[in-house]
């Protein structure tokens, strides 16, 4: 099977997936930020009787928290995120819930994140992703130093990584506008986990390509890449599918606390498996044949 010859279709498919996400990111707000990335307060309330979210939402609106986000944990408990609570507001909220919804059994400690802490969290998250990307580029370039143009392998892996991150961010941006899916600290943890998983998949494939080049140095790179893909595609798909099945089970039976983390993982693993085979490896061939240079030159001339 000649996978490499159809590389143009792979980049077209990625563009169709990524472009709507980029458009969504450009429409403010780019994400629906959780309490970790925006100032506010969070608390859990457990009632004596079964309740519904609308009853809680109506009660919170009465005490001035119409922007509150409510997640139902159990038939009689909810997790609430709202603007930063001021002194004495907890008491008024509990009183209103007692009278309008049901008797409050327990009211957890209110966790508050200030705007300064939220801003620092965002900066640290961006720095972590950038440092991870730079480290990956340096490591792959060094690890493949014994083959020609080793820097291209590092750049191709990094390009595939950016591809995966854009897909994840775009989907979360769209879902944030549609179903109010939040971006929180677990989103960043999941993103960094995907970075490691995606790069590992790419390195395995690149290592197989390196072995094929070493066996027959006169063989065209496109042929070596195609052979490497065919030799490793079964292993990549098998590993990714079994991992996705396990994550899907956790999403179905797990609580909402890890929902964002698990969703990032399942999207990132699917995107990472695809990008390793159909983006990173194909970019090596395009670079070798001068197609990348011609594309950039054409874009420059048009501009």
Q: What is the pTM of this model?
A: 0.79
* Cα–Cα distance for residue pair 280/162, rounded to 1 Å: 11
Options 3.30.70.100, 3.40.710.10, 1.10.10.10, 3.30.70.260; CATH of 41-112: 3.30.70.260
The residue ranges of every structural domain in the chain are 4-33+115-302, 41-112
CA distance linking residue 227 with residue 210, whole number of Å: 11
Which residue, among 254, 259, 244, 265, has the nearest Cα to 183 in the 3D structure? 259
- Of 241, 251, 245, the closest CA to residue 272 belongs to 241
Q: Lowest-pLDDT range, 53-62, 192-201, 255-264?
A: 255-264
pLDDT(15) > 90: yes
* Per-residue pLDDT at 301 exceeds 50: no
φ, ψ for residue 188, nearest 5 deg: -65, -40
Can you tell me the distance from the alpha carbon of 15 to that of 163, in angstroms, rounded to the nearest whole number?
9
Cβ(243)–Cβ(217) below 8 Å: no
Question: Taking a C-beta distance cutoff of 8 angstroms, is the pair 7, 38 a contact?
Answer: no
* Residue entry with tokens 């083959």: 147
> Residue 33: pLDDT above 60?
yes
Taking residues 87-103, report their average pLDDT: 86
* pLDDT score at 269: 93
Peptide bond into 29 cis (omega under 30): yes
Highest mean pLDDT range out of 13-22, 37-46, 112-121? 13-22
Residue 64 clears pLDDT 50, i.e. is over it:
yes
**CATH assignment, 4-33+115-302:** 1.20.1640.10
With residue 274 as reference, give the H or E element that holds it: helix 259-275
**Least-confidence region, from 106-110, 168-172, 211-215, 240-244:** 106-110
| Per-residue pLDDT at 41 exceeds 50 | yes
**Which single residue is written with the structure tokens 């590092």?**
154
Mean pLDDT, residues 40-51: 86
What percentage of the chain has pLDDT greater than the value 70?
A: 91
User: How is residue 28 annotated by DSSP?
Assistant: S
Residue 295 in this model has a pLDDT that exceeds 70:
no
In this predicted structure, what is the pLDDT of residue 170? Answer: 95
Residue length of the chain? 303
Question: What's the confidence (pLDDT) of residue 180?
Answer: 80
pLDDT reading at 85 higher than 80: yes
pLDDT at 73 over 80: no
Per-residue pLDDT, 299: 52
Question: Which long-range contacts (C-beta less than 8 Å, at least 24 apart) are formed by 220-229?
Answer: 221/284, 221/285, 221/288, 222/4, 222/5, 222/285, 222/288, 222/289, 223/4, 225/4, 225/281, 225/282, 225/284, 225/285, 226/2, 226/3, 226/4, 228/281, 229/3, 229/4, 229/205, 229/277, 229/281
CA distance 149 to 141: 9
List CB contacts of 10: < 8 A, sequence separation 6 or more: 278, 279, 282
Mean pLDDT of the chain: 84
174 CB-side CA count, 13 A: 12
């Amino acid at each position: 099977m000649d996978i490499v010859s159809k590389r143009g279709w792979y980049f077209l498919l990625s563009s169709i997936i990524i472009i709507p996400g980029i458009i969504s990111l450009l429409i403010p707000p780019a994400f629906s930020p959780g309490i970790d990335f925006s100032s506010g307060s969070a608390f859990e309330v457990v009632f004596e009787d079964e309740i519904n979210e609308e009853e809680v939402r109506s009660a919170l609106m009465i005490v001035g928290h119409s922007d509150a986000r409510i997640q139902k944990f159990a038939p009689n408990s909810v997790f609430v995120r709202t603007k930063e609570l001021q002194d004495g507001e907890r008491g008024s909220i509990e009183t209103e819930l007692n009278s309008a919804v049901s008797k409050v059994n327990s009211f957890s400690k209110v966790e508050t994140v200030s705007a300064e802490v939220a801003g620092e969290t965002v900066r640290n998250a961006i720095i972590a992703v950038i440092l991870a990307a730079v480290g990956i580029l340096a490591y792959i370039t060094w690890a493949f130093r014994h083959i020609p143009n080793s820097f291209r392998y590092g750049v191709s892996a990094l390009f595939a990584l950016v591809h995966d991150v854009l897909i994840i961010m775009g989907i979360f941006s769209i879902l944030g506008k549609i179903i109010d899916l939040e971006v929180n600290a677990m989103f960043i943890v999941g993103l960094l986990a995907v970075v490691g998983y995606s790069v590992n998949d790419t390195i395995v494939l690149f290592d197989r390509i390196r072995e094929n080049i070493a066996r027959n140095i006169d063989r065209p790179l496109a042929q070596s890449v195609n052979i490497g893909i065919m030799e490793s595609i079964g292993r990549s798909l098998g590993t990714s599918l079994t991992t996705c099945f396990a994550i899907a089970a956790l999403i179905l039976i797990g609580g909402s606390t890890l929902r964002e983390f698990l969703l990032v993982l399942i999207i990132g693993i699917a995107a990472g498996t695809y990008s390793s085979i159909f983006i990173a490896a194909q970019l090596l061939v395009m670079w070798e044949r001068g197609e990348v240079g011609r594309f950039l030159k054409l874009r420059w001339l048009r501009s």
